[in-house]
Structure 1
Amino acid sequence: MNIGVLALQGAFAEHLAALRKLGANGVEIRQRADFHAGLDGIILPGGESTVMGKLLRELELYAPIRDAIAAGMPVLSTCAGLILLAERAENNEKTYFALMDITVRRNAYGRQLGSFRTTTDIAGIGPYPMVFIRAPFISSVGPKAHVLATVDGHVVAARQQNMLATAFHPELTDDLRVHSYFINMIAQVNANCCQQQTA
Protein backbone atom coordinates (compact mmCIF):
# COMPACT_ATOMS: atom_id res chain seq x y z
CA MET A 1 0.00 0.00 0.00
CA ASN A 2 1.42 3.39 -1.03
CA ILE A 3 0.35 6.45 0.97
CA GLY A 4 1.49 9.95 0.08
CA VAL A 5 2.35 12.36 2.88
CA LEU A 6 2.36 16.07 2.05
CA ALA A 7 5.92 17.03 3.03
CA LEU A 8 5.90 20.82 2.72
CA GLN A 9 6.11 21.50 6.47
CA GLY A 10 4.95 20.10 9.79
CA ALA A 11 5.41 16.64 11.32
CA PHE A 12 5.38 14.69 8.05
CA ALA A 13 8.39 12.57 9.11
CA GLU A 14 6.43 11.25 12.10
CA HIS A 15 3.53 10.26 9.84
CA LEU A 16 5.97 8.43 7.56
CA ALA A 17 7.43 6.59 10.57
CA ALA A 18 3.95 5.53 11.75
CA LEU A 19 3.10 4.18 8.29
CA ARG A 20 6.39 2.27 8.20
CA LYS A 21 5.63 0.59 11.53
CA LEU A 22 2.29 -0.56 10.12
CA GLY A 23 3.88 -2.01 6.98
CA ALA A 24 2.67 0.68 4.58
CA ASN A 25 4.93 2.55 2.16
CA GLY A 26 4.98 6.29 2.82
CA VAL A 27 5.80 8.58 -0.11
CA GLU A 28 6.90 12.19 0.47
CA ILE A 29 4.89 14.65 -1.64
CA ARG A 30 7.08 17.70 -2.28
CA GLN A 31 6.30 18.51 -5.91
CA ARG A 32 3.68 17.72 -8.50
CA ALA A 33 5.63 14.74 -9.93
CA ASP A 34 5.49 13.04 -6.50
CA PHE A 35 1.70 12.90 -6.59
CA HIS A 36 0.97 10.09 -9.02
CA ALA A 37 -1.61 7.44 -9.87
CA GLY A 38 0.17 4.76 -7.81
CA LEU A 39 -0.92 6.31 -4.50
CA ASP A 40 -3.71 4.65 -2.51
CA GLY A 41 -4.25 7.55 -0.09
CA ILE A 42 -2.77 10.79 1.21
CA ILE A 43 -2.03 12.40 4.58
CA LEU A 44 -2.29 16.18 5.07
CA PRO A 45 -0.22 16.86 8.21
CA GLY A 46 -0.10 19.73 10.66
CA GLY A 47 1.77 22.94 9.98
CA GLU A 48 0.45 26.40 9.15
CA SER A 49 -2.59 26.28 6.90
CA THR A 50 -1.99 29.65 5.21
CA VAL A 51 1.58 28.71 4.28
CA MET A 52 0.53 25.23 3.18
CA GLY A 53 -2.26 26.63 1.00
CA LYS A 54 0.17 29.05 -0.65
CA LEU A 55 2.77 26.33 -1.30
CA LEU A 56 0.15 23.95 -2.70
CA ARG A 57 -0.71 26.49 -5.39
CA GLU A 58 2.87 27.57 -6.09
CA LEU A 59 3.96 23.94 -6.55
CA GLU A 60 0.88 23.13 -8.67
CA LEU A 61 -0.23 20.50 -6.16
CA TYR A 62 -3.54 22.10 -5.22
CA ALA A 63 -5.66 20.96 -8.19
CA PRO A 64 -4.43 17.35 -8.51
CA ILE A 65 -4.76 16.68 -4.76
CA ARG A 66 -8.19 18.31 -4.51
CA ASP A 67 -9.44 16.44 -7.59
CA ALA A 68 -8.14 13.11 -6.26
CA ILE A 69 -9.83 13.56 -2.86
CA ALA A 70 -13.06 14.72 -4.52
CA ALA A 71 -12.95 11.59 -6.69
CA GLY A 72 -12.70 9.37 -3.59
CA MET A 73 -9.01 9.06 -2.65
CA PRO A 74 -8.85 8.41 1.11
CA VAL A 75 -7.28 11.26 3.10
CA LEU A 76 -6.18 11.65 6.71
CA SER A 77 -5.89 15.31 7.71
CA THR A 78 -4.45 16.44 11.04
CA CYS A 79 -4.51 19.91 12.64
CA ALA A 80 -3.71 22.31 9.75
CA GLY A 81 -4.67 19.52 7.34
CA LEU A 82 -8.14 19.62 8.89
CA ILE A 83 -8.36 23.33 8.02
CA LEU A 84 -7.35 22.56 4.42
CA LEU A 85 -10.25 20.10 4.07
CA ALA A 86 -12.99 22.18 5.71
CA GLU A 87 -15.71 23.77 3.59
CA ARG A 88 -16.05 26.66 6.05
CA ALA A 89 -13.77 28.55 8.45
CA GLU A 90 -15.41 30.41 11.31
CA ASN A 91 -12.65 32.96 11.95
CA ASN A 92 -11.04 33.07 8.52
CA GLU A 93 -12.64 34.00 5.18
CA LYS A 94 -10.14 31.84 3.29
CA THR A 95 -10.84 28.18 2.54
CA TYR A 96 -8.67 25.71 0.65
CA PHE A 97 -9.81 22.30 -0.64
CA ALA A 98 -13.28 22.97 0.88
CA LEU A 99 -14.41 19.35 0.49
CA MET A 100 -15.56 18.30 3.97
CA ASP A 101 -18.92 19.40 5.37
CA ILE A 102 -17.52 20.98 8.52
CA THR A 103 -16.78 24.44 9.92
CA VAL A 104 -13.45 24.92 11.68
CA ARG A 105 -12.11 27.52 14.08
CA ARG A 106 -8.37 28.16 13.58
CA ASN A 107 -6.13 28.34 16.68
CA ALA A 108 -9.22 27.56 18.73
CA TYR A 109 -7.20 26.53 21.78
CA GLY A 110 -4.89 29.53 21.61
CA ARG A 111 -1.26 29.83 20.59
CA GLN A 112 1.67 27.74 21.79
CA LEU A 113 0.70 28.09 25.46
CA GLY A 114 -2.68 26.61 24.55
CA SER A 115 -1.11 23.30 23.57
CA PHE A 116 -2.11 20.35 25.75
CA ARG A 117 -2.59 16.59 26.01
CA THR A 118 -5.67 14.61 26.97
CA THR A 119 -7.25 11.19 26.46
CA THR A 120 -10.74 10.65 25.13
CA ASP A 121 -12.76 8.09 23.16
CA ILE A 122 -12.70 7.97 19.37
CA ALA A 123 -15.61 6.10 17.80
CA GLY A 124 -14.37 2.81 16.38
CA ILE A 125 -11.02 3.11 18.18
CA GLY A 126 -11.59 3.65 21.92
CA PRO A 127 -9.67 5.78 24.45
CA TYR A 128 -6.88 7.61 22.65
CA PRO A 129 -4.05 9.91 23.83
CA MET A 130 -4.39 13.21 21.99
CA VAL A 131 -1.73 15.90 21.48
CA PHE A 132 -3.02 19.39 20.60
CA ILE A 133 -0.62 22.09 19.35
CA ARG A 134 -2.19 25.50 18.57
CA ALA A 135 -5.05 23.34 17.45
CA PRO A 136 -8.26 24.13 15.62
CA PHE A 137 -11.50 22.42 16.47
CA ILE A 138 -14.61 21.70 14.45
CA SER A 139 -17.28 24.19 15.50
CA SER A 140 -20.07 22.58 13.46
CA VAL A 141 -20.62 19.41 11.45
CA GLY A 142 -22.94 19.31 8.47
CA PRO A 143 -25.17 16.36 7.52
CA LYS A 144 -22.56 14.77 5.20
CA ALA A 145 -20.00 14.31 7.98
CA HIS A 146 -20.23 12.59 11.37
CA VAL A 147 -18.51 13.16 14.70
CA LEU A 148 -15.91 10.66 15.92
CA ALA A 149 -14.61 12.42 19.06
CA THR A 150 -15.18 15.46 21.27
CA VAL A 151 -13.13 17.16 23.99
CA ASP A 152 -14.92 19.49 26.42
CA GLY A 153 -17.88 19.73 24.06
CA HIS A 154 -15.79 20.58 20.99
CA VAL A 155 -15.53 18.22 18.01
CA VAL A 156 -11.92 17.12 17.48
CA ALA A 157 -12.35 14.24 15.02
CA ALA A 158 -14.82 13.61 12.20
CA ARG A 159 -15.27 11.50 9.12
CA GLN A 160 -17.03 12.01 5.81
CA GLN A 161 -16.83 9.02 3.45
CA ASN A 162 -13.17 8.94 2.30
CA MET A 163 -12.11 11.87 4.52
CA LEU A 164 -10.83 11.46 8.10
CA ALA A 165 -9.97 14.64 10.02
CA THR A 166 -8.47 15.22 13.46
CA ALA A 167 -7.67 18.44 15.33
CA PHE A 168 -4.93 16.61 17.24
CA HIS A 169 -1.64 15.02 16.17
CA PRO A 170 -1.82 11.19 16.20
CA GLU A 171 1.69 11.04 14.74
CA LEU A 172 3.13 12.55 17.95
CA THR A 173 2.15 9.56 20.12
CA ASP A 174 3.24 5.92 20.09
CA ASP A 175 -0.38 4.86 19.55
CA LEU A 176 -0.79 3.73 15.93
CA ARG A 177 -4.55 3.14 15.97
CA VAL A 178 -5.57 6.29 14.06
CA HIS A 179 -3.12 5.44 11.28
CA SER A 180 -4.33 1.83 11.38
CA TYR A 181 -7.94 3.06 11.09
CA PHE A 182 -6.91 5.10 8.05
CA ILE A 183 -5.16 2.14 6.43
CA ASN A 184 -8.35 0.09 6.95
CA MET A 185 -10.32 2.91 5.28
CA ILE A 186 -8.03 2.64 2.26
CA ALA A 187 -8.46 -1.14 2.16
CA GLN A 188 -12.25 -0.73 2.23
CA VAL A 189 -12.16 1.79 -0.63
CA ASN A 190 -9.95 -0.55 -2.68
CA ALA A 191 -12.27 -3.49 -1.98
CA ASN A 192 -15.35 -1.50 -2.99
CA CYS A 193 -13.63 -0.43 -6.24
CA CYS A 194 -12.79 -4.05 -7.06
CA GLN A 195 -16.38 -5.14 -6.41
CA GLN A 196 -17.73 -2.40 -8.67
CA GLN A 197 -15.31 -3.36 -11.47
CA THR A 198 -16.35 -7.03 -11.32
CA ALA A 199 -20.09 -6.30 -10.99
Structure 2
Amino acid sequence: MIKIGILNLQGDVSEHQAMTEKAIRKMNLEAEVMKVKTALEVTECDGIIISGGESTVIGRLIEENGIDEIIKENKIPVLGTCAGMVLLGQETDYQQPLLGLIPMKVKRNGFGRQKVSFEAELELEMMDNPYPGVFIRAPYVSAVKNKANIMGQIHDKIIAVAYENHLATAFHPELTGDTRIHEYFIKEVLNCVE
Protein backbone atom coordinates (compact mmCIF):
# COMPACT_ATOMS: atom_id res chain seq x y z
CA MET A 1 0.00 0.00 0.00
CA ILE A 2 1.43 3.38 -1.01
CA LYS A 3 1.37 6.51 1.14
CA ILE A 4 0.90 9.97 -0.36
CA GLY A 5 1.83 12.86 1.91
CA ILE A 6 0.30 16.32 1.55
CA LEU A 7 2.85 18.79 2.89
CA ASN A 8 0.91 20.56 5.63
CA LEU A 9 2.84 23.82 5.91
CA GLN A 10 0.56 26.23 4.02
CA GLY A 11 -1.94 26.33 1.17
CA ASP A 12 -4.74 24.08 -0.14
CA VAL A 13 -3.77 21.09 1.98
CA SER A 14 -7.30 19.76 2.70
CA GLU A 15 -8.35 20.25 -0.94
CA HIS A 16 -5.34 18.25 -2.15
CA GLN A 17 -6.06 15.53 0.38
CA ALA A 18 -9.70 15.26 -0.74
CA MET A 19 -8.73 15.20 -4.44
CA THR A 20 -6.01 12.59 -3.87
CA GLU A 21 -8.43 10.37 -1.95
CA LYS A 22 -11.00 10.78 -4.74
CA ALA A 23 -8.38 9.80 -7.36
CA ILE A 24 -7.38 6.74 -5.32
CA ARG A 25 -11.01 5.61 -5.10
CA LYS A 26 -11.45 6.15 -8.83
CA MET A 27 -8.31 4.09 -9.53
CA ASN A 28 -9.51 1.38 -7.10
CA LEU A 29 -6.21 1.40 -5.19
CA GLU A 30 -5.14 0.53 -1.67
CA ALA A 31 -3.42 3.74 -0.56
CA GLU A 32 -3.18 6.11 2.37
CA VAL A 33 -3.24 9.90 2.17
CA MET A 34 -1.83 11.81 5.11
CA LYS A 35 -0.94 15.37 6.02
CA VAL A 36 2.77 15.67 6.86
CA LYS A 37 4.77 18.42 8.58
CA THR A 38 8.03 16.88 9.71
CA ALA A 39 10.98 15.21 8.03
CA LEU A 40 10.19 12.01 9.94
CA GLU A 41 6.62 11.97 8.57
CA VAL A 42 7.93 12.61 5.06
CA THR A 43 10.22 9.54 5.29
CA GLU A 44 7.07 7.39 5.56
CA CYS A 45 5.71 8.67 2.22
CA ASP A 46 6.05 7.24 -1.27
CA GLY A 47 5.00 10.56 -2.83
CA ILE A 48 4.64 14.18 -1.66
CA ILE A 49 2.29 16.93 -2.83
CA ILE A 50 3.28 20.58 -2.30
CA SER A 51 0.31 22.89 -2.72
CA GLY A 52 -0.08 26.57 -3.47
CA GLY A 53 0.62 29.27 -0.90
CA GLU A 54 3.62 31.53 -0.36
CA SER A 55 6.60 29.75 -1.90
CA THR A 56 9.16 31.71 0.15
CA VAL A 57 7.55 30.67 3.46
CA ILE A 58 7.01 27.05 2.39
CA GLY A 59 10.59 26.83 1.06
CA ARG A 60 12.03 28.19 4.29
CA LEU A 61 10.01 25.73 6.40
CA ILE A 62 11.01 22.82 4.14
CA GLU A 63 14.67 23.77 4.57
CA GLU A 64 14.47 24.46 8.33
CA ASN A 65 12.78 21.10 8.98
CA GLY A 66 15.20 19.11 6.80
CA ILE A 67 12.36 17.98 4.54
CA ASP A 68 14.34 18.92 1.41
CA GLU A 69 17.13 16.51 2.35
CA ILE A 70 14.69 13.63 3.01
CA ILE A 71 12.91 14.14 -0.33
CA LYS A 72 16.22 14.18 -2.22
CA GLU A 73 17.89 11.32 -0.31
CA ASN A 74 14.87 9.03 -0.68
CA LYS A 75 14.11 10.16 -4.26
CA ILE A 76 10.47 10.79 -3.33
CA PRO A 77 8.29 11.85 -6.30
CA VAL A 78 6.78 15.30 -5.85
CA LEU A 79 3.70 16.98 -7.33
CA GLY A 80 4.08 20.73 -6.96
CA THR A 81 1.17 23.03 -7.78
CA CYS A 82 1.44 26.84 -8.04
CA ALA A 83 3.90 27.68 -5.23
CA GLY A 84 4.91 24.02 -5.39
CA MET A 85 5.94 24.57 -9.02
CA VAL A 86 8.22 27.42 -7.93
CA LEU A 87 9.80 25.22 -5.26
CA LEU A 88 10.45 22.36 -7.69
CA GLY A 89 12.42 24.67 -9.99
CA GLN A 90 16.19 25.11 -9.99
CA GLU A 91 15.91 28.86 -10.54
CA THR A 92 13.38 31.64 -9.98
CA ASP A 93 13.26 35.42 -10.17
CA TYR A 94 13.47 35.84 -6.38
CA GLN A 95 16.08 34.81 -3.80
CA GLN A 96 14.51 31.94 -1.84
CA PRO A 97 15.04 28.28 -0.88
CA LEU A 98 14.22 25.85 -3.73
CA LEU A 99 14.12 22.06 -3.96
CA GLY A 100 15.63 22.25 -7.45
CA LEU A 101 14.25 18.86 -8.51
CA ILE A 102 13.22 19.96 -12.02
CA PRO A 103 15.70 21.71 -14.33
CA MET A 104 13.54 24.74 -15.07
CA LYS A 105 13.42 28.49 -14.45
CA VAL A 106 10.17 29.73 -12.89
CA LYS A 107 8.71 33.24 -12.88
CA ARG A 108 6.75 33.82 -9.68
CA ASN A 109 3.34 35.52 -10.07
CA GLY A 110 4.01 35.32 -13.80
CA PHE A 111 0.37 35.91 -14.76
CA GLY A 112 -0.07 38.82 -12.33
CA ARG A 113 -1.47 39.37 -8.87
CA GLN A 114 -4.59 37.84 -7.27
CA LYS A 115 -7.04 40.01 -9.23
CA VAL A 116 -5.69 38.56 -12.49
CA SER A 117 -6.73 35.02 -11.50
CA PHE A 118 -8.47 33.12 -14.29
CA GLU A 119 -9.65 29.74 -15.56
CA ALA A 120 -8.78 28.16 -18.92
CA GLU A 121 -9.33 24.93 -20.81
CA LEU A 122 -5.87 23.39 -21.13
CA GLU A 123 -4.43 21.02 -23.70
CA LEU A 124 -2.00 18.86 -21.72
CA GLU A 125 0.37 16.28 -23.22
CA MET A 126 -0.70 13.49 -20.84
CA MET A 127 -4.44 13.89 -21.50
CA ASP A 128 -6.73 13.18 -24.43
CA ASN A 129 -9.33 15.80 -23.45
CA PRO A 130 -9.03 19.42 -22.23
CA TYR A 131 -8.31 19.97 -18.55
CA PRO A 132 -9.93 22.78 -16.49
CA GLY A 133 -7.05 24.96 -15.29
CA VAL A 134 -7.55 27.28 -12.30
CA PHE A 135 -4.83 29.97 -12.07
CA ILE A 136 -4.43 32.08 -8.91
CA ARG A 137 -1.37 34.36 -8.71
CA ALA A 138 0.12 31.72 -10.93
CA PRO A 139 3.76 31.29 -11.87
CA TYR A 140 4.95 30.05 -15.23
CA VAL A 141 8.11 28.36 -16.48
CA SER A 142 10.26 30.48 -18.79
CA ALA A 143 12.85 27.81 -19.65
CA VAL A 144 13.49 24.07 -19.24
CA LYS A 145 16.60 21.98 -19.84
CA ASN A 146 18.05 18.47 -19.36
CA LYS A 147 15.11 16.54 -20.81
CA ALA A 148 12.44 18.17 -18.66
CA ASN A 149 9.19 17.59 -20.55
CA ILE A 150 6.85 20.48 -21.30
CA MET A 151 3.38 19.05 -20.64
CA GLY A 152 1.33 22.19 -21.29
CA GLN A 153 1.52 25.82 -22.37
CA ILE A 154 -0.65 28.91 -22.63
CA HIS A 155 0.70 30.86 -25.60
CA ASP A 156 4.47 31.06 -24.90
CA LYS A 157 4.14 30.41 -21.16
CA ILE A 158 4.90 26.89 -19.89
CA ILE A 159 2.34 25.85 -17.26
CA ALA A 160 3.09 22.13 -16.72
CA VAL A 161 6.42 20.28 -16.62
CA ALA A 162 7.31 16.65 -15.90
CA TYR A 163 10.80 15.43 -15.08
CA GLU A 164 11.72 11.97 -13.86
CA ASN A 165 8.88 11.20 -11.38
CA HIS A 166 8.10 14.84 -10.55
CA LEU A 167 5.27 16.98 -11.92
CA ALA A 168 4.87 20.75 -11.60
CA THR A 169 1.75 22.72 -12.55
CA ALA A 170 1.17 26.47 -12.48
CA PHE A 171 -2.53 25.82 -11.89
CA HIS A 172 -4.53 24.32 -9.01
CA PRO A 173 -5.83 20.82 -9.88
CA GLU A 174 -7.20 20.45 -6.35
CA LEU A 175 -9.76 23.21 -7.03
CA THR A 176 -11.47 21.35 -9.88
CA GLY A 177 -13.62 18.23 -9.93
CA ASP A 178 -11.13 16.57 -12.28
CA THR A 179 -8.84 13.93 -10.73
CA ARG A 180 -6.62 13.34 -13.78
CA ILE A 181 -3.57 15.30 -12.55
CA HIS A 182 -3.64 13.47 -9.23
CA GLU A 183 -4.14 10.14 -11.03
CA TYR A 184 -1.13 10.88 -13.25
CA PHE A 185 0.99 11.62 -10.18
CA ILE A 186 -0.20 8.51 -8.31
CA LYS A 187 0.84 6.41 -11.33
CA GLU A 188 4.31 8.01 -11.17
CA VAL A 189 4.51 7.09 -7.47
CA LEU A 190 3.43 3.52 -8.24
CA ASN A 191 6.18 3.30 -10.89
CA CYS A 192 8.74 4.16 -8.20
CA VAL A 193 7.62 1.59 -5.64
CA GLU A 194 7.18 -1.37 -8.00
Counterpart check, 1:106 vs 2:113: no
Counterpart check, 1:155 vs 2:155: no
- Which one has more relative contact order, counting CA pairs under 8 Å at least 6 apart? 2
Q: Taking structure 2 as the reference length, what is the TM-score of the superposition?
A: 0.90
The root-mean-square deviation of aligned C-alpha atoms, in Å, is 1.4
Task: Structure 1: state its 5+ residue gaps.
Answer: 192-199
AA at the equivalent of 1:47: G
Counterpart check, 1:57 vs 2:63: yes
Task: Structure 2: state its 5+ residue gaps.
Answer: 25-30
- Misfit runs of 4+, over 6 Å: none
User: For residue 126 of structure 2, what is the aligned residue in structure 1?
Assistant: 124
C-alpha distance in 2, partners of 1:103/1:140?
Answer: 5
Match of 1:25 among 29, 32, 42: 32
C-alpha distance in 1, partners of 2:191/2:69?
Answer: 25
C-alpha distance in 2, partners of 1:25/1:123?
Answer: 28
* DSSP-derived class of the 1:103 partner: strand
- Which digits, 9 at most, give the CA deviation of each residue in 1:142-174, with x for residues without a partner? 132010000122100010111111000000000
C-alpha distance in 2, partners of 1:57/1:142?
Answer: 25
Give the drift of 1:98. Answer: 1.3
C-alpha distance in 1, partners of 2:80/2:95?
Answer: 20
Q: Taking structure 1 as the reference length, what is the TM-score of the superposition?
A: 0.88
C-alpha distance in 1, partners of 2:60/2:22?
Answer: 31
Counterpart check, 1:96 vs 2:98: yes
Counterpart check, 1:176 vs 2:179: yes
* DSSP-derived class of the 2:48 partner: strand
Give the drift of 1:190. Answer: 2.3
C-alpha distance in 1, partners of 2:68/2:46?
Answer: 18
Give the drift of 1:48. Answer: 0.5
